[in-house]
Amino acid sequence: MTLSPASSAFSASFAPLVLLASYLLGSLPFGLWISRLVAGVDIREGGSGHVTTTNTMRHAGWGAAALVLLLDMAKGFAPTYLAVKQGLPAWGIALTAALAVVGHCWPVWAKFRGGMGLATTGGTFLAVNPLGMVVGLGVLVSLVLLYGHSARGSAVTGLTIPPVLWLLGLRGTILWAAVAAGWVLAIRFFTEDWHREYKELWLDRGESDE
């Protein structure tokens, strides 16, 4: 669809608001809040220390974890879907998706101690191309099974999804989004977890965070 000059101007002026909203929405630490509400704990102080679905499950149970998963996906989906509907260019949509994941990983509302970004990335993919989300999930599961180790498989998922999408002919905006969000995932894993004090535990454990 070709936008009129007026629509293009509106989209350009609206873009900074979408980008800011994307980071702020991504920063909502649902795992932290719901775990406090349900179990009265700060999940950053136990388990993996991450504000994730998996760590929520450890501390607050399956029901709370399922709710966190849906909300973490929604905060990636909502701003990315808005960017798509406002007619932002592919790079703008990709940047919106990436900022939602950045917000989840380094949330301003939780002293920049967040999660790993997988669920939020899935939400951004769903907003751009549902098939892309299915492919991304397939890549994640395949790598976890291949490595026989969920943390290692998850760590390389972000870098593996873009070439897989390209090979399957899924290009354009979804490929841009996969590259942008995928690099955020990779940076999160290899700068935060790889250098953690319990690096050996990260390498050896069989648990995955979303």
| pLDDT tens sequence across 79-96 | 999 999 988 999 999 999
Q: What is the pLDDT of residue 206?
A: 47
What distance in Å separates the CA atoms of residue 17 and residue 27, rounded to the nearest whole number?
15
What total number of domains does the chain contain?
Answer: 1
Q: What is the pLDDT of residue 148?
A: 77
Those residues whose C-beta lies under 8 Å from the C-beta of residue 141, and which sit 6 or more positions away, are: none
Q: What is the pLDDT of residue 59?
A: 93
Q: Is residue 48 part of a domain?
A: yes
Amino acid at 106: W
pLDDT, tens only, 117-128 = 999 999 999 999
Q: Give helix 53-60 / helix 62-85 axis angle, nearest 10°.
A: 150
Q: Is residue 209 part of a domain?
A: no
- Give Cα 205 to chain centroid, integer Å: 22
Q: What is the pLDDT of residue 47?
A: 82
Band of the pLDDT at 3, cuts 50, 70, 90?
very low
Q: What is the pLDDT of residue 156?
A: 86
Q: Give helix 5-26 / helix 62-85 axis angle, nearest 10°.
A: 160
What distance in Å separates the CA atoms of residue 202 and residue 117, rounded to the nearest whole number?
17
Q: Is residue 88 part of a domain?
A: yes
Counting residues of the chain whose pLDDT is more than 90, the rounded percentage is 68
21: containing domain? 5-204
Q: Which residue do the tokens 């490595």 mark?
A: 147
Q: Is residue 210 part of a domain?
A: no
Q: Is residue 103 part of a domain?
A: yes
Q: What is the pLDDT of residue 114?
A: 94
Band of the pLDDT at 72, cuts 50, 70, 90?
very high
pLDDT, tens only, 7-28 = 454 456 667 888 999 999 999 9
Mean pLDDT to the nearest integer, 171-200: 81
Q: Is residue 83 part of a domain?
A: yes
Band of the pLDDT at 46, cuts 50, 70, 90?
confident
- Dmax (CA) for the chain in angstroms is 56
**pLDDT above 70: residue 193:** no
Mean pLDDT to the nearest integer, 183-202: 68
What distance in Å separates the CA atoms of residue 77 and residue 112, rounded to the nearest whole number?
21
Q: Is residue 36 part of a domain?
A: yes
pTM: 0.86
Higher pLDDT, 66 or 203: 66
Mean pLDDT to the nearest integer, 164-175: 96
Q: Is residue 21 part of a domain?
A: yes
193 DSSP 8-state letter: I
